[in-house]
Amino acid sequence: MVAEAGAQRIPPEPEGMSAESGRSERAEPPRQMSHWEAANFFFETAAERVGIDPEIVELLRRPYRELHVEVPVRMDDGRLAVFSGFRVQHSAARGPYKGGVRFHPEVDLDEVRALAALMTWKTAIVNIPFGGAKGGVQCDPTALSKEENRRLTRTYMVNISHLLGVQRDIAAPDMGTDKQTMAWMMDAYGSAHGYTPGIVTGKPISLGGSAGRREATGRGVALVTRDTLASLGMSAEQTRVAIHGYGNVGRFAAQFLHEMGCKIVAVADVGGCVVRPDGIDPGLLQEHVAATGSVVGMAGTWERERDEVFTSECDVLVPAAVGGVIHADNWARVQARVIVEGANGPVTPYADHHLREGGVTIVPDIIANAGGVLVSYFEWAQNIQQYRWSEEHVNRELETMLCDAFQGVRQRAEVEDASLRTAAFMIGGERVAEAIEIRGFV
């Protein structure tokens, strides 16, 4: 680990949260793994430790169903463009498949598989009655006009809709998609099946979306960061935070962490990285992003290469964009003492192994960013009941359920002398395996 001038001195940590945690876990993983291999590596590490039936492990090492569709779109200039789309359903052992839809140029089947599996573990850890799924379209939504985006979204939805259903598989936003995407998806589905708000979550509030859903993932990231800092004896006021990705997750994580007293000292998006050791005001940064489309050029900040955010001087690092960004070639230059995974799969197994050996506490994606799916669950429940919750009610339930689940993960890590990640996978894996056995799938 790089020694950091001016960093907070971290007092001795409670058992189970210590640098020693998980040292007994598997030997050094390969330097490189695909997203899917990485997701399975973490699951298998935990499954082996808790003794999940190897036949069930074998079943869960494969997604239940995968769909690859072509998505033809008539572009504004009259040309026909054909995009690749995916929907992967990993497990429905505990309830309908649930998972977001990613529009990104690098989306492929391997990544969507990994993201679908992570949803299975995430929904089980926060104990909501869903399974895991994910969707994606290989495209750059920022290069499409609004009309092209609308046509692409509707065609994708029509092409995967035979797999979806309010009690079968429910979609949501992810990278490159938002409440407008969900409104188009809901409408495309509804034109064949009738008004069905519960088919997607993350919708606009005027179409049956939930108060608090937009902020939910970032709010959850901030809540688990708060509880992690407390468990390590670190004060929010002395904590410097660096954030990779300033979209739905990164932006609200920055806002809530700032409100808790943390200093946001570095922020990166796809365009670059800006730093300010005295702290960046997320409110002003959001105004700048709304006006210019990027964090780059924010007044009072210094520009850095985009990936310098990972190695910037900070106490907490929040990756909140793409996966696999903290890896074999950059982990050793990470200065943060705590990594909170706002993104899905941002730390590779190799980097995870070495960072833990070096004493870094990593709060894994499957609990750190679970605030989003929790409020998606509230939205789905409200749609089914045709009833609306107040924002206060949503936020209270989110905090209670997420923080209770995180407490469970920390306790399990302590009891098992495991990392937080392995403890989270143990809890999720056991719950899913139990559902499979009781239901008599196999």
* Residue (17 or 207) nearer to ligand NAD, CB: 207
Task: Give the β-pairing of 240-244 and 263-269.
Answer: parallel
Query: Shortest gap between Cβ of 276 and ligand NAD (angstroms)?
Result: 18
Alpha carbon separation from 425 to 91, 113, 148, 353, 422 (Å, rounded): 15, 17, 40, 15, 5
DSSP code for 15:
T
Residue in the structure block whose two tokens are 């797999």: 163
* Residue (262 or 347) nearer to ligand NAD, CB: 347
- Is 134 assigned a catalytic role? yes
Binding site for ligand NAD (CB under 6 A): 173-176, 217, 244-250, 268-270, 306, 320-322, 342-344, 369, 372
Residue in the structure block whose two tokens are 């050791």: 277
Query: Shortest gap between Cβ of 269 and ligand NAD (angstroms)?
Result: 3
Locate all alpha helices (DSSP H) within 106-203, ordered by sequence. Answer: 109-125, 146-160, 179-193
* Residue (234 or 340) nearer to ligand NAD, CB: 340
And the tokens for 425? Answer: 């996978």
And the tokens for 348? Answer: 């590779």
* Residue (22 or 319) nearer to ligand NAD, CB: 319
Show the beta-strand stretches assigned E in 305-425. Answer: 316-319, 338-340, 361-363
> Which conformational region is residue 8 in: left (phi greater than 0), alpha (psi within -120 to 50 degrees), or beta?
beta
Task: Give the β-pairing of 80-91 and 132-138.
Answer: antiparallel
Query: Shortest gap between Cβ of 252 and ligand NAD (angstroms)?
Result: 9
CB neighbours of 372 closer than 8 A, spacing ≥ 6? 100, 172, 202, 213, 216, 217, 220, 249
Query: Shortest gap between Cβ of 260 and ligand NAD (angstroms)?
Result: 19
- Bridge partners of residue 65, in order along the sequence: 89
And the tokens for 317? Answer: 């690092």
The H or E element spanning position 167 is none
Backbone φ and ψ for 25, nearest 5 degrees, come out as -70, 180
CB neighbours of 287 closer than 8 A, spacing ≥ 6? none
Query: Shortest gap between Cβ of 268 and ligand NAD (angstroms)?
Result: 5
* Residue (83 or 103) nearer to ligand NAD, CB: 103
* Residue (228 or 248) nearer to ligand NAD, CB: 248
Residue in the structure block whose two tokens are 């793409």: 322
* Residue (245 or 282) nearer to ligand NAD, CB: 245
Q: Taking CB positions, which residue lies at the least distance from ligand NAD?
A: 247
And the tokens for 200? Answer: 């997607």
302 vs 37: CA distance, rounded Å: 37
Query: Shortest gap between Cβ of 272 and ligand NAD (angstroms)?
Result: 9
Answer for the pair 210, 389: CB distance below 8 angstroms, yes or no. Answer: yes
Query: Shortest gap between Cβ of 357 and ligand NAD (angstroms)?
Result: 25
Residue 257 three-state SS: helix
Name the amino acid, one letter, at 325: V
Query: Shortest gap between Cβ of 182 and ligand NAD (angstroms)?
Result: 11
* Residue (233 or 293) nearer to ligand NAD, CB: 293
Q: Which of 134, 179, 203, 263 is catalytic?
A: 134
CB neighbours of 440 closer than 8 A, spacing ≥ 6? none
And the tokens for 244? Answer: 């990779």
> Which of the residues are catalytic?
134
